[in-house]
Structure 1
Amino acid sequence: MKMYEFSVIASGLDPQADDFEARFYDNGCDDALVSFQNGHVIIDFTRAAETFDCAIASAVEAVAATGARIVRIEPDPLVSLSDIAKRANMTRAAISNYHRGQRGAAFPSPAARITSDSPLWEWADVARWLASGGKLSRATAVEAELVRQANLAVQRGEVHIGPMLKARSEQFERDLAT
C-alpha cells in the first residue's frame, strides 16, 4: 500500500464538544490529524491505500460518518504561478515562460482573477498540460483530476464517491495515454 497525503475541510461540528476528537477516531479517521481553524475542521490525512481514489473516497466517507459537512478536499485546486512551480518542482521563471507562451503553446487559461495581477489556475488543468508535455508525472496529473472530481461530488452533496472516482481515474489515465 502507498501513503497519500491530503486534507478534508469540513464544518458543522462543535470543537468544544466532549466527543469531538473521538467522533473522528471512532469513524475511521485514526490516520488523520484533526484541528479547528477559522471556523472549519481541518482533517489532515496520511492514508494508506491501494490507489489515490480509494484513499480519497474512504476519507470522505469517514468524515461524513462523523456528522460533519464536507466543504472541500485539498490540496487547494486553485493555484498561482508560484504554487504551480512548487508543485511541479520547477522554477517560477520556467512556469512564467510557459504561461506567456515562450516555452510551449496552449498553457491553460486562468480560472479566477483573470484580469488581475495575480491570476489563479485550476491545478488539474495545469497538471494535465504539464504531464502531456512530460514535465510532470501522469500520477500527479491523475491525482489533481481526482481532487477536482471529488470536490465537484461533495459540492453536490455526494459522499459515496468511490466508484465514480475509480471510473474517472481509469478514463483520465486512458486520455493521458493518447
Structure 2
Amino acid sequence: MKTYEFSVIASGLDPNADDFEDRFYAAGCDDALIAFQKGHIIVDFAREAESIEEAISSAIENVRSTGASVDRVEPDPLVNLSEIADRAGTTRSAISHYAKGTRGKDFPAPVAKVTDESPLWSWPAVVRWFVDREQLGKEALVEAEVFREANEVIVQKDTALRERLKKAAELSRAA
C-alpha cells in the first residue's frame, strides 16, 4: 500500500456545527485534516490505498457521506510555470525555457489564460511530455490523469466515480 496526499474541496456543511469535524471522522476521514478556509471545507488526506484511483474515489465517497457536496479534488490539473517546476522537481528557469521552445521541443501549449502574463497548462499534458522524455515516471502520468478525471466526474455529477477513475488509470498505464 502507498500513501497518497491530496485535498478534497467541499461545501454545504456548517463549519460552526458542534459535530462538524466528528461527521468526517465517523464517515471514514480519520486519515485527513479538516479545515474551513475562504468559504470552503478543505479535507487534506494522507490516504493509504492500493492505487491513486482507489484513494481518491474512497475519499470522495467518505466526504459525500457526511452530507457535504464535493466541489473538486486538488492538486489542480491546471498549473502555471512555477507549479510545473515544483511538481516536476526542476527549476522555474528550465520550465520557462521548455515553454519558450529554447530547450527541448514540442512542450505543450497553455490551455487557459493564454493571453495573460501567467498562462495555465494542463498538468496531464505536461506530465506526458516529461514521461515521453523519460524525465518523470509513468505513475506521475497515471496520477495526473486520475486527478483530471476525478474533477471532470465531479463537474458532470457523474455517479460512476470508481469506474471512471479506474478506466482513466488503466488507459494511462497502457499508454
Q: 1:62-117 CA deviation, whole Å, 9 max, x = no partner?
A: 01111111110001221111110111001111111111112222211111110111
State percent identity of aligned pairs.
Answer: 53
Shift of 1:159: 4.9
1 CA distance for matches of 2:23 and 2:167? Answer: 30
Is 1:136 paired with 2:128?
no
User: Residue 29 of structure 2 corresponds to which residue in structure 1?
Assistant: 29
Q: Gaps spanning 5+ residues in structure 2: where?
A: none
SS at match of 2:45: strand
Provide the aligned C-alpha RMSD in A.
1.0
Q: 1:22-44 CA deviation, whole Å, 9 max, x = no partner?
A: 11001111100000001000000
Shift of 1:173: 1.2
User: Residue 113 of structure 2 corresponds to which residue in structure 1?
Assistant: 113
2 CA distance for matches of 1:167 and 1:113? Answer: 30
User: Residue 48 of structure 2 corresponds to which residue in structure 1?
Assistant: 48
Please say if residues 9 and 73 of structure 1, whose CA atoms lie closer than 8 Å, have aligned partners that are also in contact: yes
2 CA distance for matches of 1:29 and 1:160? Answer: 21
2 CA distance for matches of 1:46 and 1:159? Answer: 24
Q: 1:9-59 CA deviation, whole Å, 9 max, x = no partner?
A: 000100011111111001111100000001000000000000111000100
In structure 2, the CA distance between the partners of 1:59 and 1:159, relative to structure 1 (3 Å rule), is: farther
Counterpart code for 1:113: K
User: Residue 39 of structure 2 corresponds to which residue in structure 1?
Assistant: 39
2 CA distance for matches of 1:159 and 1:28? Answer: 20
Q: Which runs of 4+ in 1 moved over 4 A?
A: none
TM-score in terms of structure 1 length: 0.95
SS at match of 1:134: coil
Number of equivalenced pairs: 175
